[in-house]
Amino acid sequence: MSGTGEKGFTLLELLVSLTLLSLLTVALVAALRFGVASWRKAQDASVRLHAIALAQKEIASDLSRIYPKFIDHPPDAAFVDFDGRETQIRFYTPDPRSGFLLNTLLGAVGTAPSLSLQIEAMPDIATSGRPASRVLLDGLSSVAFAYYGQADGEREAGWHSSWQGQSALPKLIRVRMTSASGRMPIPEAVISPRIDADVGCVFDPSINFCRGRK
């Protein structure tokens, strides 16, 4: 059959072709896996950034609306019912739906490096029940609050790690959070409470100001 002009592949050529095809398939599968992993990482980063932005927006909204509820029981000196600590803050905000004050607690829950930033709120007039709580952000290694102002008895304003039993709210509240993964820095936030303390103020949430004086 040598004069027919037909040619075929040798066994060596088939083996080389199959080897090259296998290598090409492995390379394509590896590239596909890498692309899927990169896409997932980008999606996770996008979701995380969105969660951080939402958490910071809510924190800024709540802290900027702090209402300075005054405690005045003579003969003790009057003070604002605001309890600011290094890892949590208890404060009051007006509820836009009911008009009542909400007793709110914002703070870190859990143990490092697996902390969550949680907020709890309960109407000030409630005598029973459990506060509504939500996790604003998880996967944190640290949460730290600081307070800027002139504390009672001080000559100049400065940053403090706590703010309790003072006659006025702090001028600024700083929020620092660190992600447990360390790969995504969380921007520092500095919020200024908008409502100044007024001992005689009867707060009206509809106008966000004093309705009158006691």
pLDDT tens digit string along 66-110? 988 888 777 878 888 999 999 999 999 988 777 788 999 999 999
Predicted local confidence at residue 214, as pLDDT? 44
E strands, the chain, are: 70-71, 79-80, 83-84, 88-94, 101-111, 114-123, 132-149, 158-160, 163-164, 172-179, 189-191, 201-204, 209-213
Residue 147 reports pLDDT greater than 70: yes
Predicted local confidence at residue 113, as pLDDT? 81
Evaluate whether residue 42 is within a structural domain.
no
Evaluate whether residue 20 is within a structural domain.
no
Amino acid (1-letter code) at residue 33: R
Please state, for a pLDDT cut of 70, what percent of the chain lies above it: 85
Residue ranges of alpha helices (H) inside the chain are: 11-64
Evaluate whether residue 186 is within a structural domain.
yes
Evaluate whether residue 159 is within a structural domain.
yes
Q: Which residue has the higher pLDDT, 91 or 206?
A: 91
Q: How far apart are CA 168 and CA 70, in angstroms?
A: 9
Evaluate whether residue 76 is within a structural domain.
yes
107: domain range?
59-213
Q: How far apart are CA 133 and CA 5, in angstroms?
A: 85
Evaluate whether residue 7 is within a structural domain.
no
Q: Which residues contact 149 (CB under 8 A, 6 or more apart)?
A: 157, 160, 163, 166, 168, 169, 170, 171, 172
Say which residue the tokens 């040619």 belong to. Answer: 7
**C-beta separation of 89 from 107 below 8 A:** yes
Evaluate whether residue 38 is within a structural domain.
no
**C-beta separation of 138 from 54 below 8 A:** no
Q: What is the mean pLDDT of residues 199-206?
A: 54
Say which residue the tokens 């208890």 belong to. Answer: 90
- How many domains does the chain fold into? 1
Say which residue the tokens 């996008």 belong to. Answer: 46
Q: Which residue has the higher pLDDT, 195 or 30?
A: 30
Evaluate whether residue 170 is within a structural domain.
yes
CA-closest candidate to residue 91, choices 99, 102, 100: 102
